[in-house]
């Protein structure tokens, strides 16, 4: 025969076990973790300009194999021919990997999330987009560059991650309202002769 105290103890044990089971089962449910978009290391950016009328290609190059800090990057500018049209192509790489990681392919795959911007203080140099993403907005991996009169200055290439491509002016290459994060920004010295 069980006493009232034993019945109370059994009930308490039952309720404790039930609560522990609920806690155990609810803690086993895992939510998918939120993984932030990790920035990839960009060690190299090349902008190859090929004359549409034929001739030698010019390669503007940024190489910083040890990343931020350490040794300074090696930046190679170029000389363009005046009153000429070029087809431009951008290549972005991480050469600290072996084999090197072609980030250009990732940009093309995630085209709605990336846009290259081209800014210059060289009079007569204009760069137009010649590729679009799935929404019809520019990417900038393929361009047309046109030179005017002789001059010199800087061509800045900026890769933005998650820009607002629908903001005012962004589709025409104006970075002012783009937002997003800059993955890389390079100033290339240019001469037009």
Give me the pLDDT at residue 36, please: 39
Please count the structural domains in the chain: 2
Question: Is there a single domain that holds both residue 4 and residue 85?
Answer: no
User: Are 4 and 59 members of one domain?
Assistant: no
Answer yes or no: is 23 within a domain: yes
Does the pLDDT at position 157 exceed 70? Answer: yes
pLDDT band at 98 (very low <50, low <70, confident <90, very high): confident
* Portion of the chain with pLDDT greater than 90, in percent: 74
CA dist 49 and 125 (Å) reads 13
Residue 99's contacts (CB-CB under 8 Å, 6 or more residues apart) are none
Cα 175–Cα 75–Cα 142 angle in degrees, nearest 5: 50
Q: Are residues 21 and 94 in the same domain?
A: no
- Residue 37 forms part of a structural domain: no
Q: Are residues 108 and 22 in the same domain?
A: no
Extended beta strands in 81-150, E state:
85-94, 101-102, 114-120, 126-129, 142-146
- 39 domain-assigned: no
Q: Is pLDDT above 70 for 42?
A: yes
Q: Are residues 51 and 22 part of one domain?
A: no
Is 100 a member of any domain? yes
Same domain, 67 and 17: no
DSSP string for residues in 138-165: B--SEEEEE--SSEEEEEEEEEEES--T
CA atoms of 51 and 57, how far apart (whole Å):
7
How does pLDDT run across 163-180, given as a tens digit for each residue?
A: 999 999 999 999 999 999
* 142 & 71 share domain: yes
Same domain membership, residue 111 and residue 55: yes
Q: What is the pTM of this model?
A: 0.79
Phi-psi map region of 155: left, alpha, beta (phi>0 left; psi -120 to 50 alpha): beta
Q: Are 62 and 77 in contact (CB under 8 A)?
A: no
Are 14 and 50 in a shared domain? no
Which pLDDT score, from 0 to 100, does residue 39 have?
A: 61
Say if residue 108 is in the same domain as residue 182. yes
Rounded CA separation 99/67 (Å): 17
The CA R_g of the chain, rounded to the nearest whole Å, is 28
Give the number of other CB atoms < 10 A from CB of residue 129. 21
**135 falls within a domain:** yes
- Please give the residue range of the domain that contains residue 26: 1-30
pLDDT exceeding 70 applies to what percent of the chain?
80
Structural domain includes residue 36: no
Residue 72 sits in the same domain as residue 152: yes
6 with 90, same domain? Answer: no
CATH of the domain at 169: 2.60.40
Residue 85 covered by a domain: yes
- 35, part of any domain: no
């Amino acid at each position: 025969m069980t006493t009232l105290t034993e019945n109370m103890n059994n009930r308490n044990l039952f309720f404790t076990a039930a609560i522990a089971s609920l806690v155990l089962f609810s803690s086993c449910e895992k939510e998918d973790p939120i993984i932030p978009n990790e920035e990839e290391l960009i060690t190299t950016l090349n902008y190859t300009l090929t004359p549409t009328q034929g001739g030698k290609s010019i390669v503007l190059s940024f190489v910083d194999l040890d990343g931020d800090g350490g040794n300074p990057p090696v930046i190679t500018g170029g000389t363009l021919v005046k009153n000429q049209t070029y087809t431009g192509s951008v290549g972005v790489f991480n050469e600290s990997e072996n084999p090197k990681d072609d980030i250009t392919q990732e940009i093309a795959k995630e085209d709605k999330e990336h846009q290259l911007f081209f800014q210059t203080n060289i009079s007569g140099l204009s760069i137009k987009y010649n590729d679009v993403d799935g929404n019809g907005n520019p990417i900038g991996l393929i361009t047309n560059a046109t030179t005017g009169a002789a001059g010199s200055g800087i061509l800045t290439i900026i890769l933005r991650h998650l820009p607002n491509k629908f903001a005012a002016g962004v589709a025409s290459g104006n970075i002012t309202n783009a937002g997003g994060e800059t993955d890389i920004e390079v100033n290339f010295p240019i001469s037009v002769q």
